[in-house]
């Protein structure tokens, strides 16, 4: 363990300053998160309880604030670097216009928990096996720059509460303003909303960006300290790009023909090029199916938040069910939810991807039907078939998630003492296998 005095920038017990000082933007971001919060972030990831794991599992640190923040039976993380070091696959999709971009943004957001569970790849933090399989909780808590008052821990009417950190699922839909769907609190920058509303920007867009603008600025280049109209988009991007939601709505830059885009940000990076390509192609094809069939899979934001929580659990792919509509062309299941007090149907990832007999066709089937009407070269058809077969087997559990493969490797290692610890030699052996991996693994 390092003396905190050795890391005056990062203030971490575990992460040396050398991890951030070579990159100006990274260093600024880390410092601003610490300054905004007034102390180091405190992420607590539940420990994986094995036969010899201490109960309770407790850690003791030199710093009293760390001991105060670290929770029993959890692995403690104390730096934004733990968030930034996690790897994901970011997939940007082009939209024909703003309406299509809004529609894609909403529909893809509902898919995020499903794809997070399917691509789960992060069962180890700080040398311990944890009881979650994804990076998302560590990403969210280690990037959280809200003060105690902003988090609602100290009641102060002069400081509005911000209910979520910068890393979160989307907070409102853009193409649908139905209150039974947008059913969670949405804090907004009142001045930003008034400016957008007076400029004639539609309400859902105004609410979306006004919500992003409740955050503090995290990074600013010296050349940007004096505002000019030419720098307007760069200032916009400074806020837009430091709100790390599961999906990002991306307006076109000024004087550009790039157009409207949507960035799908949830998927965890895999160990082989084939796997990463398969997931990217799957999301792109699924977006085309959604557009072609005008599918409506929206569920209330509160249900989407529940799905995100479930998606992070240990082996969520096989142990969790997710709120998901059976009827993809009907709004009745979601919009009447509060009137009837019924629950939205729940399905496993396998049922959502591969189908549920008599109730749901499955997305692989819908993609296959979509491709039947397209003129595709035989070589491309073969590759797409390989990708879809892989996704189907991954969803069914025939091919384990990366997280479960890593977990099995660790727990099967001859040095593992069933105490949740991942030693240096175990880590080395794991990395050597990962380094040589160029195709999907099988157990």
What CATH number is given to the structural domain containing 427?
1.10.8.960
Mean pLDDT of 383-410: 97
Is residue 157 included in any domain, yes or no? no
Structure-block tokens of residue 227:
């505002």
The label of the residue with tokens 């790009």 reads: 241
Mean pLDDT of 279-295: 96
Residue-level pLDDT at 234: 80
Q: Are residues 277 and 174 in the same domain?
A: yes
Does 340 score more than 80 pLDDT?
no
Mean pLDDT of 109-116: 98
Is residue 233 included in any domain, yes or no? no
Secondary structure class of 44 (helix, strand, coil): strand
- Highest mean pLDDT out of 7-11, 159-163, 270-274: 270-274
User: Which has more confidence, 312 or 5?
Assistant: 312
- Band of residue 341 on the pLDDT scale cut at 50, 70, 90: very low
| Closest by Cα among 86, 62, 56, 52 to 74 | 56
- Band of residue 334 on the pLDDT scale cut at 50, 70, 90: very low
Structure-block tokens of residue 60:
């003791």
Q: Are residues 193 and 328 in the same domain?
A: yes
The C-alpha R_g of the chain, in whole angstroms, comes to 23
- Band of residue 339 on the pLDDT scale cut at 50, 70, 90: very low
Is residue 230 included in any domain, yes or no? no
CB 313 within 8 A of CB 132: yes
Q: Hey, how many other C-beta atoms are within 10 angstroms of the C-beta on 177?
A: 13
Q: Are residues 348 and 407 in the same domain?
A: no
Show which of 66, 84, 102 is a domain's final residue: 84
- Band of residue 81 on the pLDDT scale cut at 50, 70, 90: confident
Partners of 249 in the β-ladder: 262
Q: Are residues 64 and 96 in the same domain?
A: no
Q: Are residues 198 and 58 in the same domain?
A: no
Write out pLDDT tens, residues 201-257.
999 999 999 999 999 887 766 655 566 666 677 888 888 988 999 999 999 998 889
Q: Are residues 330 and 419 in the same domain?
A: no
Q: Minimum mean pLDDT among 34-38, 142-146, 167-171: which range?
A: 34-38
The total of structural domains in the chain comes to 3
- Band of residue 9 on the pLDDT scale cut at 50, 70, 90: confident
Output the average pLDDT for the chain.
89
Show which of 34, 60, 84 is a domain's final residue: 84
Does 21 score more than 80 pLDDT?
no
How does DSSP classify residue 440?
A: -
**pTM for this structure?**
0.92
Residue-level pLDDT at 272: 92
Q: Are residues 274 and 349 in the same domain?
A: yes
Euclidean distance between the first and the last CA atom of the chain, given in angstroms as a whole number: 35
Residue-level pLDDT at 181: 95
Distance CA 259, CA 231 (A): 19
- Band of residue 332 on the pLDDT scale cut at 50, 70, 90: very low
What residues make up the domain containing 260? 88-143+167-214+244-396
Write out pLDDT tens, residues 407-441.
999 999 999 999 999 999 999 999 999 988 766 65
Q: Are residues 197 and 344 in the same domain?
A: yes
Mean pLDDT of 174-193: 93
Q: Are residues 308 and 367 in the same domain?
A: yes
- Band of residue 258 on the pLDDT scale cut at 50, 70, 90: very high
- Band of residue 80 on the pLDDT scale cut at 50, 70, 90: confident
Residue-level pLDDT at 233: 79
Q: Are residues 391 and 428 in the same domain?
A: no
Is residue 280 included in any domain, yes or no? yes
Distance of CA 392 to the CA centre of its chain: 22
Is residue 152 included in any domain, yes or no? no
Is residue 151 included in any domain, yes or no? no
Is residue 223 included in any domain, yes or no? no
């Amino acid at each position: 363990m390092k003396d905190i005095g050795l890391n005056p920038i990062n203030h971490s017990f575990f992460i040396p300053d050398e991890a951030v000082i070579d990159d100006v933007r990274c260093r600024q971001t880390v410092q601003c998160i610490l300054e905004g919060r007034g102390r180091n972030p405190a992420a607590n990831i539940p420990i994986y309880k094995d036969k010899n794991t201490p109960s309770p599992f407790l850690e003791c640190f030199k710093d009293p604030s760390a001991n105060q923040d670290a929770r029993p039976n959890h692995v403690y993380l104390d730096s934004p670097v733990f968030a930034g070091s996690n790897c994901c696959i970011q997939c940007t999709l082009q939209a024909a216009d703003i309406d299509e971009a809004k529609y894609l943004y909403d529909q893809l957001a509902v898919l995020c928990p499903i794809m997070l569970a399917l691509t789960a790849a992060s069962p180890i933090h700080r040398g311990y096996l944890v009881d979650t399989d994804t990076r998302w909780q560590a990403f969210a808590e280690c990037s959280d720059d809200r003060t105690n008052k902003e988090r609602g821990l100290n009641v102060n009417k002069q400081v509005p509460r911000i209910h979520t950190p910068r890393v979160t699922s989307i907070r409102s839909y853009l193409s649908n303003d139905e209150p039974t769907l947008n059913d969670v609190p949405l804090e907004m920058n009142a001045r930003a909303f008034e400016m957008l509303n007076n400029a004639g920007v539609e309400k859902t867009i105004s609410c979306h960006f006004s919500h992003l603008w409740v955050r503090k600025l995290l990074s600013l280049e010296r050349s940007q300290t004096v505002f000019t109209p030419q720098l307007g988009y760069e200032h916009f991007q400074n806020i837009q790009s430091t709100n790390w939601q599961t999906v990002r709505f991306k307006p076109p830059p000024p004087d550009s023909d790039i157009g409207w885009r949507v960035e799908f940000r949830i998927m965890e990076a895999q160990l082989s090029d084939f796997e990463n390509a398969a997931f990217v192609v799957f999301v792109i094809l699924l977006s085309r199916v959604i557009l072609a069939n005008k599918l409506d899979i929206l569920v209330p934001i509160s249900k989407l938040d529940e799905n995100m929580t479930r998606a992070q659990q240990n082996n969520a792919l096989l142990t969790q069910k997710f709120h998901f509509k059976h009827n993809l062309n009907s709004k009745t299941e979601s919009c009447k939810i509060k009137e009837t007090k019924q629950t939205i149907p729940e399905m496993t990832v396998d049922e959502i991807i591969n189908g549920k007999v008599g109730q749901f066709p499955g997305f692989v089937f819908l993609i296959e039907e979509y491709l039947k009407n397209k003129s595709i070269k035989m070589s491309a058809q073969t590759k797409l078939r390989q990708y879809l077969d892989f996704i189907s087997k991954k969803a069914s559990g025939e091919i384990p998630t990366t997280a479960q493969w890593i977990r099995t490797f660790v727990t099967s290692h001859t040095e593992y003492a069933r105490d949740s610890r991942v030693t240096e030699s175990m880590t080395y052996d794991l990395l050597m296998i990962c380094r040589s991996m160029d195709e999907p693994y099988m157990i």
